[in-house]
Amino acid sequence: MALSPYKKSLVIVLLLIIMMGITVSSAMADNIDIGSGITEVSNKAVSEKLLDIFKKAAYIFSAFAALCLLGVAGKFMVSKGDERKTAEAKTWFQWVTIGLIIVALGLVFLGFIAWLVKT
């Protein structure tokens, strides 16, 4: 089941709204101690802490993607040659792969920013 361009755009917009909501809600929280685990206030300590946080998030997203890939493998096995189900599994595989690439690029980008801040 392929998504129409309108539905794909709608899914992307909804995901962006959800990500924006998470960002805004975390920014509005009053009791978050952003300095926890940082004993000194320096560019190096802050950049390492941010990179550590993003690495942990990337691990969580990667684990979720691995579960999704297992689901895609299950969809391929269950399809048994049905072209519609195989096409749906291929679409899922493409989206999971795109998600993994985005997470990897985000990690590289944040690593570069952290390197710039450290120096």
Other residues' Cβ atoms within 10 Å of the Cβ of residue 110: 18
Angle between helices 83-118 and 43-79 (to 10 degrees): 170
pLDDT at position 65? 81
119 residues of the chain, pLDDT tens digit each: 576 766 766 677 666 666 666 555 555 555 555 555 556 667 777 777 777 887 788 778 878 888 888 888 888 888 888 889 888 888 988 888 888 888 888 878 877 877 777 76
pLDDT at position 79? 82
pLDDT at position 96? 85
pLDDT at position 41? 67
Closest CA to 15 of 83, 54, 80, 61: 61
Closest CA to 92 of 118, 67, 63, 62: 67
Task: With beta carbons less than 8 A apart as the criterion, state whether 80 and 118 touch.
Answer: no
Closest CA to 111 of 67, 48, 69, 65: 48
pLDDT at position 19? 65
pLDDT at position 4? 72
Give 107-116's long-range contacts (Cβ < 8 A, gap of 24+). Answer: 107/54, 107/55, 107/58, 110/50, 110/51, 110/54, 111/51, 113/47, 114/47, 114/48, 114/50, 114/51, 115/47
Name the 3-class secondary structure at 107.
helix
